[in-house]
Amino acid sequence: MDGTSRRTILGGAAIGLAATAATGAAAQTTSAPVPLRDPRTKHTRTPFPEQRQEWPGLASKMNPRPDHGEESYRGSGRLAGRKALVTGGDSGIGRAAAIAFAREGADVAINYYPSEEPDAREVVALIRAAGRKAVALPADIRTLAACEKLVADAVRGLGGLDILVNNAAYQQSKADISEISDEQFDRTFKTNIYAPFRISKAAIPSMPPGSVIINTISVNSYDPGEELLDYASTKGAQLILTKGLAKQLAKRGIRVNAVAPGPIWTPLQVAGGQLPGKMGEFGQDTPLGRAGQPAELATLYVMLASDEASYSTGTVVGAHGGRGSP
């Protein structure tokens, strides 16, 4: 080999790799430390003022405005090249997930109720500012036709689909079962359990091995609030849907997991999610002493969507400030 031995070549390569590793290690050890944040005071502990909006409500009109990670979330390419559909992606937890996905390198389609267009436009702008494709898909997802069209439009707009987040929900608090109309009960089930079932069923044929479905369930899946009888019933059903579907889809190489939030400051709360006069108590009874912000859940969706969680399926991750399960 013109005087250069194989051992010399390999030895030089090894030295080069060692030098690179040493440089990387030095960079890690010399990085500025990340300051610790007390989770009790990371976000506001001040009781929220009493307020009410017509359903479905807008984040842009809430006082204070929720934090979806607009200013704080920093991506690192963990979802580069992925294609995600997020229902309820205009505000709340869905908005936080959509922003995080885009900043991690994914193209994102967001579904939202048509009257939530002002919030949706903000999210589309944030996705595009991250350099990713944004697809806006307004739709009332209470019918089979709407669910199937939503998925078809998302697949066409994104050029494929490998992340599905079933997040959209309907919640109306009522103190007694006698106050829950049949119309409300029907709407809650069609939004919270029929739609995730139908959307997942429609999406699966387009999802290759390595794809992920993430359902937003609730602490109410385990410990139902007495004023959320119909909502909690749907979230319990969604928990079982998650676990059962995970077993079915394992043979396809598709993972199915869920996130179970506790009291999170979203439009759901100001548009009928809390009983009148109770807004000031929202989240105050958690061990951390405050409600959560949507931004605090974003990394959970990123982790479950990423290949780093490749052995996690049929699992639920909690985010409830210390009160709830899992």
> Is 194 a residue of the active site?
no
* Contact present, 279 and 265 (Cβ < 8 Å): no
* Contact present, 219 and 176 (Cβ < 8 Å): no
pLDDT at 21: 40
The residue among 277, 283, 240, 295 whose CA lies nearest residue 93 is 295
DSSP codes joined into one string, 269-312: IIIIIS-TT-GGGTTTTSTTSS-B-GGGGHHHHHHHHSGGGTT-
The Cα–Cα gap between 110 and 138 comes to: 8
pLDDT at 30: 58
- Amino acid making up residue 271: A
pLDDT at 79: 98
pLDDT at 34: 86
pLDDT at 216: 98
The dihedrals phi and psi of 214, each to the nearest 5 degrees, come to -125, 125
Q: Please state, in angstroms and as integers, the Cα–Cα distance from residue 114 to each residue in 111, 121, 156, following that order.
A: 9, 11, 20
pLDDT at 18: 41
* Contact present, 142 and 169 (Cβ < 8 Å): no
Beta strands 212-216 and 134-138, pairing class? unpaired
Catalytic residue among 112, 231, 301, 311: 231
**Residue 170's CB: how many other CB atoms inside 10 A?**
24
Per residue of the chain (326 residues), give pLDDT as tens.
444 443 333 344 443 434 434 444 444 445 789 899 999 999 999 999 999 999 999 999 999 999 999 999 999 999 999 999 999 999 999 999 999 999 999 999 999 999 999 999 999 999 999 999 999 999 999 999 999 999 999 999 999 999 999 999 999 999 999 999 999 999 999 999 999 999 999 999 999 999 999 999 999 999 999 999 999 999 999 999 999 999 999 999 999 999 999 999 999 999 999 999 999 999 999 999 999 999 999 999 999 999 999 999 999 999 999 988 88
- Show me where the domains of the chain are located: 76-319
CATH fold for domain 76-319 = Rossmann fold (3.40.50)
Q: Work out the burial of residue 41: count CB atoms within 10 Å of its CB; fewer than 13 is exposed, 13-18 middle, 19 or more buried.
A: exposed
